Amino acid sequence: MLKNFYKNKKILITGHTGFKGIWLINCLTILGAKVYGISKNDENKKNFYKLCEPKNIKSYFFDILNKKRLSITIKKIEPDIIFHLAAQSIVRKSYKFPENTFETNFNGTLNLLSVSLKLKNLKSLIIVTSDKCYQNLNKKKFFIETDALGGDDPYSASKGASEILFNSFLKSYLINKKIGAASVRAGNVLGGGDWSVDRILPDYIKSIKYSKKFIIRNPNSSRPWQHVLDVINGYLILAMKLYKNREKYSGNWNFGPNYKKNVTVKKLIKIFSKFIEHKAKNIVFINKKTNQKESKFLNLDSSKARKYLYWNNRYDLTQILRLTAEWYNENMYKNQSNRIIKKQINNFFFNN
C-alpha cells in the first residue's frame, strides 16, 4: 500500500542528512518517491553521501533559519509532502548552546510552517519533535498526546515550545489551507548509520574503533528503545493518511514501543554486546550528579497510533540490537553499510 501511494510523489525532507533522515530517504527512494532534501552543510554530509545514492536525491545545503532561501527553494520544489526533521537534537549540547538550540528548533520550525502556507500542492506536513516535549516529573507513567508540555533542559523546552507553535498554526491556518498536518513524538531510536555524539550505541562503537574509554552516564536510566524503521513506518503511514483525510488525522501522535517495562542503559549494552563482533573493553559507569537534568523514566502511550493508524512495532529489543549490530559490523570491517540499510528496509517492508 505504501509503495503504491508514494510512487512518484514529490517529498521534501528537512534535516535529510541526519540519522533518521538517511533512513527515511532510503525508504522513500525504494518506495519510488521523488525525494528532495534540505540540510545544513555540516559534518553529517559525508556520512549522508556514504549511505544514500545522491543521484536519486536533489539536495540543498543551507540553514533553515535563512527564511528567504528556504522560501525560494521550497516553492521551486512544490512538494506534495514535507517531513520536517531538521533540529539540534542533542540534550547535552543544548546546555552548551541554548540560543542555537531554540533558534534551530523553534525559529526553524516557524520558518517551515510559514513557508508551507504558501505552497500550492502540499497535502501532508509532518513536524518531528520528541518524546521529551512533555512535562516530565519522573513518575512511572505513560504520556498521552493530551498531556501537559514542558521541558527542564533547553532541548526539551525547545521541543515543547515547537509543539505549541505547531498547534497554533494547525488550528489557525493549516486546516483552512487544506493541508493535513501532524506533530510526531518518538522515543529513543536505534539503528545503523548513527554516528551522533552522546548516543549510547554510537559511543560504544567509537570506543572500539578508536580504543577509547566507553563512558556510560546514568546506567540505570530506562528508555523506550525502538528501531528506526518502526518509527519511520509510523511517519509514512501517517503522512499517507493525512494526504487522504486531513480532518481525521491532523494533530499530535506518539510513536513508542508497546512493551510495558522499559530497559535500562546497562541492560541495553549487555544485550548489544552479544551481537557486536568486537567488544568494548574499558567501560566506565558514571552516576555523578550534575546541573544537567536527565529524566530517569520516559514512556509513551501510543494507543492512538495503534488504534487509528493500525501501526505497531515489528521488532522487539533483541531484534533491534541484532539489526543495529549487523550494520556496525558491516560498516567497521566490510564497508557494506549502504547495502545493509537497503537489505534491512526491503526485509521490513516487503518480507514481513
Q: Show the domains of the chain with their CATH numbers.
A: 2-190+224-260+296-316 (3.40.50.720)
Q: How do 57-61 and 34-39 pair as beta strands?
A: parallel
- CA atoms of 90 and 45, how far apart (whole Å): 18
**What's the number of CA atoms in the CB half-sphere (13 Å) around residue 188?**
24
pLDDT range class, residue 258, cuts 50, 70, 90: confident
The reported pLDDT for the residue numbered 292 is: 60
Q: How far apart are CA 20 and CA 229, in angstroms?
A: 9
Q: Examine the pLDDT at 352 and tell me if it is beyond 70.
A: no
The whole-number pLDDT of residue 92 equals 86
CA angle 238, 116, 75 (to 5 degrees): 120
Q: Name the residue among 113, 104, 94 with its Cα closest to residue 42.
A: 104
Q: Compute the mean pLDDT over every residue in the chain, rounded to the nearest whole number.
A: 91
Q: Among 69-73, 83-87, 339-343, which stretch is predicted with the lowest mean pLDDT?
A: 339-343
Percent of the chain having pLDDT more than 70? 94
Cα of 16 vs its chain's centroid, Å: 10
Q: What would the mean pLDDT of 245-272 be, rounded to a whole number?
A: 90
Query: Beta partners for 172?
Result: none
Given a cut of 90, whether residue 222 has pLDDT beyond it is no
44 pLDDT exceeds 70?
yes
pLDDT at residue 137 tops 80: no
Cell of residue 264, nine digits: 535500562
**Range from 160-169, 208-217, 278-287 carrying the lowest mean pLDDT:** 278-287
Question: Looking at residues 302-314, what average pLDDT do you find?
Answer: 96
**Please, what sign has the CA dihedral across residues 209, 213, 218, 219?**
positive
Q: Is the pLDDT of residue 203 over 80?
A: yes
- Beta carbons of 269 and 156 less than 8 angstroms apart: no
Q: Is 80 exceeded by the pLDDT of residue 264?
A: yes
**Mean pLDDT calculated for residue range 54-71:** 94
Cβ atoms of 187 and 260 within 8 Å: the answer is no
Residue 217 has pLDDT above 70, yes or no: yes
151 class by beta-carbon count within 10 Å (0-12 exposed, 13-18 middle, 19+ buried): buried
Q: What mean pLDDT comes out for the span 2-30?
A: 96
61, with CB counted inside 10 A (0-12, 13-18, 19+), is: middle
* Cα–Cα dist 307/327, whole Å: 32
pLDDT band at 199 (very low <50, low <70, confident <90, very high): confident
Greatest mean pLDDT range, 60-69, 198-207, 220-229? 60-69
pLDDT exceeds 60 at position 306: yes
DSSP state of 54: G
Label residue 196 exposed, middle or buried (CB < 10 Å: 0-12, 13-18, 19+): middle
Residue 130 CA from chain centroid, whole number: 8
Q: Between 116 and 260, whose confidence is greater?
A: 116
Grid cell in block for residue 213? 574509554
Asked whether the predicted pLDDT for residue 154 surpasses 60, the reply is yes
Where does the pLDDT of residue 90 fall: very low under 50, low under 70, confident under 90, or very high at 90 and above? confident
CA 284/CA 317 separation, integer angstroms: 23
pLDDT at 293: 61
Mean pLDDT of 319-340: 84
Helix (H/G/I), strand (E/B), else coil: 182: strand
The CA R_g of the chain, rounded to the nearest whole Å, is 19
Question: Residue 134: beta bridge partners?
Answer: 149
* Low-confidence winner among 102-106, 236-240, 279-283 (lowest mean pLDDT): 279-283
Q: What is the mean pLDDT of residues 247-260?
A: 91
The predicted structure's pLDDT at residue 287: 66
**Structure confidence at residue 146 (pLDDT):** 95
